[in-house]
Amino acid sequence: MPRQKLDSTAVSEKLASVADWEIDAGETALSRTFRFANFSEAFGFMSRAALVAEKLDHHPEWKNVYRTVEVRLTTHDAGGLTGLDFDLAVAMDRIASGTGTKH
């Protein structure tokens, strides 16, 4: 099933569900930096998020340095944001809220 790129109106509507995420100027990606108490919490977050990403068959661009995880979500084959990006962002927010993340 092809992934449908969201138009500006749909992106604006979905942004309300991911208030801590930033959108780039071209509306092609969402990004957020998560900070945890330590490396173990950051790695645990990434492990749990990876399970969700695999289930969605939608994988983040991310980088981890010690207790910080930088995440960028986009749907490359659609050329921008799709519902999957927002679904994964919401799931990551839920996972992080259970681990004591700082903004």
Whether pLDDT at 41 is above 90: yes
Q: Could you write out the DSSP letters of every residue in 54-93?
A: HHHT---EEEEETTEEEEEE-BGGGTB--HHHHHHHHHHH
Task: Find the CATH number of the domain harbouring 17.
Answer: 3.30.1360.20
Q: Does the residue 70 lie in any domain?
A: yes
Q: Which domain holds residue 68?
A: 8-97
Q: Does the residue 64 lie in any domain?
A: yes
Whether pLDDT at 100 is above 90: no
Contact 30, 12 (CB under 8 A): no
Q: What is the pLDDT of residues 69-80, one digit of tens each?
A: 999 999 998 989
Domain total of the chain: 1
d(CA 4, CA 27): 14
pTM > 0.75: yes or no: yes
